[in-house]
């Protein structure tokens, strides 16, 4: 009986370890989530792998960016900023882009929620 109890304890500890090690990934979308920040505030996190095709506007300080989600990717479709860098950056999401989309005049940032790099030079 003692051996059996010991066996149960060992199994329980192994199971517990596995459980705890998996905690940090709970609740995180799997690799295809983006954070959308406007005016420095995080306004939402979208899991693109679950998202349906749609378009929406984000307004800040009188400026507007039209965001489009299509085929589990996201980009800035239209913007009233003077340089249009946010549009030129293109699509991000999945394996098709890991750089953040930044619109300086409209203070908009769309960035991968879990970029594997620590920083980016551009």
Partner 1 sequence: MKKAAVLFGISLLSLLCGCNISEEPCAKKDFFAMDTYMTLTAYGDNAEAALDRACSEITRLEGLFSVTDKNSDIGRINSSRGQPVEISTDTAKLISRSSKLSEFTDGTLDITVYPLVREWGFTTGNYAVPTDKKINELLGSTGYLNISINDNKVTIPENYQLDLGSVAKGYAGERAAEILKEEGVTSAILSLGGNVQTIGEKPDGTPWRVAVTDPFSPSDTICTLSVIDKAVVTSGNYQRYFVSEDGKKYCHIIDPKTGYPVDNGLASVTVTGDSGTYCDGLSTALFVMGEEKATAFRNEHRDFDMLIITEDGRIIITESLSENVEFTDNTITQKVEVIK
Binding site for partner 1 (CB under 8 A): 5, 8-9, 12-13, 16-17, 20, 37, 40, 75, 81-83, 85, 88-92, 96-102, 104, 107, 109, 115-122
Closer residue to partner 1, CB minimum distance, 33 or 100: 100
Min CB(63)–partner 1 separation in Å: 12
* Residue 34 CB neighbour total at 10 angstroms: 25
Min CB(51)–partner 1 separation in Å: 17
Closer residue to partner 1, CB minimum distance, 46 or 75: 75
Min CB(84)–partner 1 separation in Å: 8
Closer residue to partner 1, CB minimum distance, 51 or 92: 92
SS (H, E, C) 66-106: EEEEECCEEEEEEECCCCCHHHHHCCECCCCCCCCEEECCC
Report the alpha-carbon angle 65-66-69, nearest 5.
Answer: 130
Min CB(62)–partner 1 separation in Å: 15
Closer residue to partner 1, CB minimum distance, 27 or 82: 82
């Amino acid at each position: 009986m003692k051996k059996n109890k010991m066996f149960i304890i060992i199994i329980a500890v192994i199971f517990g370890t596995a459980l705890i090690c998996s905690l940090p990934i709970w609740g995180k979308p799997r690799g295809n989530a983006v954070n959308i920040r406007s005016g420095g505030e995080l306004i939402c996190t979208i899991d693109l792998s679950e998202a349906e095709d749609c378009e929406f506007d984000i307004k800040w300080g009188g400026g507007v960016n039209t965001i489009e989600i299509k085929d589990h990717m996201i980009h800035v479709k239209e913007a009233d900023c003077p340089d249009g860098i946010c549009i030129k950056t293109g699509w991000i999401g999945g394996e098709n882009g890991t750089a953040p989309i930044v619109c300086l005049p409209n203070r908009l940032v769309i960035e991968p929620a879990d970029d594997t790099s620590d920083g980016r030079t551009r």
